[in-house]
Amino acid sequence: MILRWLDVGFSELTLDQLYGLLQLRVDVFVVEQNCPYPELDGKDKHPQTRHLLGQDDLGNIVAYSRVLAPSISYPQASIGRVAVAKPARGKGVANQLMQSAIAIAKQHWPNDNIQIGAQDYLRQFYQQHGFVVNSDVYLEDSIKHLDMLLIYNN
């Protein structure tokens, strides 16, 4: 699947893009995973937060992640809210999304490692991208999670 990838700050998002990314996140995390949680946590609008959007040829956002600066969620840079729409799954989109998100983190914070709070069932997916487990499994919003770290050399 060929997507157009956009790396933008909060103030650069159009209203349609903001609506699209929030709709995807709610569809995946709240509806699909049946997990009511505080989706709007204030981190989206932080001046250093990067939003990675994967748009199809119609402009629909079918993949998304946000890349956070160090000290927003973790001491290190972090990647979160990783989501791929159902119709785009199984087509390599998630791999493209993670590769792009890692590249954005390295570009903006080249002297920092990358921390994620991953859902446990996706452990192998993140390990394929170089992340290593650095916590025990814990419950977050009634879903098993674990922290993972990507250490890279500058």
12-42 residue pLDDT tens: 999 999 999 999 999 998 888 887 777 889 9
Rounded to whole angstroms, the Cα distance separating 24 from 27 reads 5
Range of the domain at 65: 4-150
Give this prediction's pTM: 0.93
CATH number of 14's domain:
3.40.630.30
Rounded to whole angstroms, the Cα distance separating 44 from 52 reads 11
For the chain, the domain total comes to: 1
Is 154 a residue whose pLDDT tops 60? Answer: no
